[in-house]
Amino acid sequence: MEKFKSFLIRKKKPVIFSVLGIAVFIICNALISSGTLGRQGAGLLVPICINIMLAVSLNLIVGFLGELSLGHAGFMSVGAYAGCLFTIHFDLPVYIEFPLALIIGGLVAAIFGVIIGLPALRLNGDYLAIVTLAFGEIIRSIINSLEFTGGAGGLKGINKFSNFSVAYIAAMLTIIVIVNLVHSRHGRAITAIRDNIISAEAMGINVVFYKLISFVMAAFFAGAAGVLYGHHLAILKPGTFDFNKSIEILVIVVLGGMGNITGSIIAAIIITILPEVLRDLSDYRMLIYSIALIVMMLSSSSPKLAELRSKIKGRLRPSTGKEVA
Amino acid sequence: MQQFCEQLLNGLNLGSVYALIALGYTMVYGIAKMLNFAHGDIIMVGAYTLLLSSTRFGLPWYLAVLLCAVVCCVLGVSIEKIAYKPLRNASPLTVLITAIGVSYFLQSSALLIFGSNKQKVDSLIKIKGFTVNGINVSGESIVTLSVTIVIMILLTLFIKKTKMGKAMLAVSEDKGAAQLMGVNVNATISLTFAIGSALAAVAGILYMSSYGFVGPYTGSLPGIKAFVAAVLGGIGSIPGAMLGGILLGIIESMAKTYISTDLADAIVFGILIVVLLFRPTGLLGKKRIEKV
């Protein structure tokens, strides 16, 4: 009986999660078909799903592995080009072709994840961040100079396969896989590496393997998100996947909270909708992002601000302070 | 041969600008153990200051240069005080994200103030070039090279001979021990940011004299490349930054001429990755053993 109870408690969260997931899906579909969202609102649903995929996958590297990747747009672009070239050159039925394109985009990006992950094993911190940045730039300038990718003019003639249902399912799969990974034995190993790499190594955790697996997983989902992106806009330009794109994903992760997947999802929704709602403020968008980044970092780590925060908390809930004392 | 010599000279020219920027990176990294991502954007601020002071208001060149250096110094020191100082004991990830935030803040502020169009900056250098054996030596190259050499000599003397310079070395070696020996750590870190930013201002002026246009994103690419140069030479090492900058400038200009203009940036970044793989401490860097 005890065992059954704990089983229920343990299983409750996934049940709530899946009910919520299905409910959101049905509500969104109902809103689209009834036209409540309007064209503009409905057009935002796919970008929201794409950003959720990107943010959740980057959170695995930044939040859980504790390394900074500035090349997430690079993974996205590799996946996008691979998937879109596949659907352009092959003529299969859509329901086979598009899922296959998503997987191919993901796999190609994952291969690049290995290529980036391998040097990353020897590096950490600032150096790793710069190497990922360099990789992103290299990928961009190579795509720019190649013939079959359309060069700087962009890749045209992509079918508009992306719709809300596909994007939603892909985003859900991303969330499910990453949440399960993070809560598994492997996820604990990854967070152990973040907290202290030397003690993690001493406890017998295979640092090389886990760093690599985090990069590969993150790259896979970023690549799949890229494929969705390409089939949503119907055109791919290498200029889209620059450093700014990587930073935008990073902003989502940081705003949502590093190591917090629910936060990433909420932040992805807000950051995608906000520029559309505040069209007048579009010039100030990057300024607001940058201030948000600085303030978030200062408020979470500055000792003075932490003191201030605990004071405010203590004033709001004086009883808890006594209990601790 | 003639083309080779001209490209070598171009490379030296570009490389000395990179070296000046890389010095700022490497000094800040050595002392604060942080990658100042906003360093490249200080060049942009310097270039805009030059645009306003010299091209718009017609100040004489020495006043314009002085103004650029002062503006950048003040900016660099205030960035350190506001954004980086509270995070001195925070994780490197936090500091790096803050620095990226600062970089974006500077870029988007410039975008709002000056607009996204690139604007023409008149070169401060009025010296005429000359020709040797059919090789053109431009006035810009002469001034850039000589200014860089003078600055490097002065900087080396400053660090080796003066009390402040020795304090900088001591802080970069061991912050705690330096503090116990009576070194004012905060003042030394501020001084480092001030010198680094002033060098960035000079680099910005020299960069403008060769390229002539300034936009909100002017600083980011030379900034990143200068970082590559600092890593190539061994980050934290001052002669390394000079060597790395010059080498990188030559490699870039050769790659542009003999391989491909489109791929030159990719080659530069490829070199960074190869260096980090085989010599993570760079050409002249010291090996650091990680202690538990």
Tell me the pLDDT band of A8, cut-offs 50, 70 and 90. low
H or E segment to which residue B213 belongs = strand B213-214
Which distant-in-sequence residues (6+ apart) come within 8 Å of B277 by Cβ? A119, A122
Would the pLDDT of A115 be above 80? yes
pLDDT tens-digit readout, A148-195? 877 777 888 888 888 888 899 999 999 999 999 999 999 999 999 988
Chain A contact present for B277, CB below 8 A: yes
Chain A contact present for B289, CB below 8 A: no
Decide which of A6 and A45 is more confident: A45
Would B125 be classed as within a structural domain?
Answer: no
| Total of domains in chain A | 1
What is the total residue count of chain B? 292
Would B121 be classed as within a structural domain?
Answer: no
What helix, strand, coil percent values describe chain B, rounded to 5? 75, 5, 25
Binary contact (B220, A243; C-beta < 8 A): yes
Mean pLDDT of B276-283: 78
- Please report the pLDDT score of residue A1 as a whole number: 57
Give the dihedral of Cα atoms A292, B22, B160, B81; nearest 10 deg. -10
Percent of chain B with pLDDT over 70: 98
Would A56 be classed as within a structural domain?
Answer: yes
CA dist B103 and B220 (Å) reads 8
Interface test with B, best of A118, A141, A246 (most B CBs within 10 A): A141
Would the pLDDT of B287 be above 90? no
What is the extent of the structural domain holding A197? Answer: 45-304
Mean pLDDT of B8-34: 89
Residue A236 three-state SS: strand
Chain A contact present for B274, CB below 8 A: no
Residue closest to A161 by CA, chosen among A224, A220, A109: A224
Would A176 be classed as within a structural domain?
Answer: yes
The residue of chain A nearest to residue B92, with distances taken between CA atoms, is: A125
Burial of residue B235 (CB within 10 Å: 0-12, 13-18, 19+) is: buried
Would the pLDDT of A83 be above 70? yes
DSSP secondary structure code for residue A282 in this structure: G
Mean pLDDT of B164-189: 90
Chain A contact present for B132, CB below 8 A: no
The residue of chain B nearest to residue A66, with distances taken between CA atoms, is: B93
Helix pair angle (B185-211, B2-32), 10° resolution: 160
CA dist B22 and B199 (Å) reads 9
- Please report the pLDDT score of residue A50 as a whole number: 94
Interface test with A, best of B114, B221, B231, B276 (most A CBs within 10 A): B276
H or E segment to which residue A248 belongs = helix A243-256
Tell me the pLDDT band of B291, cut-offs 50, 70 and 90. low
Would B173 be classed as within a structural domain?
Answer: yes
What is the extent of the structural domain holding B199? Answer: 2-114+134-278
User: Residue B36: which CATH number?
Assistant: 1.10.3470
User: Residue A209: which CATH number?
Assistant: 1.10.3470
Give the ipTM of the model, two decimals please.
Answer: 0.81
